[in-house]
Amino acid sequence: MNSHHKTIKTMKAERKEEHVRNITFCIKTGASGYVTDNFRIDDLPTPQLAGTLTQQDAYARGKARIIFEEFINQNPNINE
C-alpha cells in the first residue's frame, strides 16, 4: 500500500515535469500561451534571443518552472 502511494506521487511529479517541458518549448518557440484539455496559461514571456543556445534553454526552462509553480499554487485543484 505504501509503495502504491509513492507511485501516485511519482506520476504527479512526472506529469508536472512534462508540463514544464511543454511550457519550455512554448517559450523557446515564441508561443503566447500553453493550452491543454483542462487548463490554459496565457501571456508567456518572449524567448531569450541573446546568449548561447544553452543559456536560452536555461532561461526558458527556468521561466517555465516558475510559471507552472505559480499556476499550480493559484489553482491547487488542477489534477492533470
What's the CA gap between 47 and 45, in Å, rounded?
A: 6
- Whole-prediction pTM value? 0.83
Mean pLDDT of the chain: 87
Mean predicted confidence (pLDDT) in 57-80: 91
- Domain-wise residue ranges, the chain: 2-74
Tracing cell 543559456 back to the chain, one arrives at 55
The SS3 call for residue 40 is strand
**How much is the pLDDT for 1?**
47
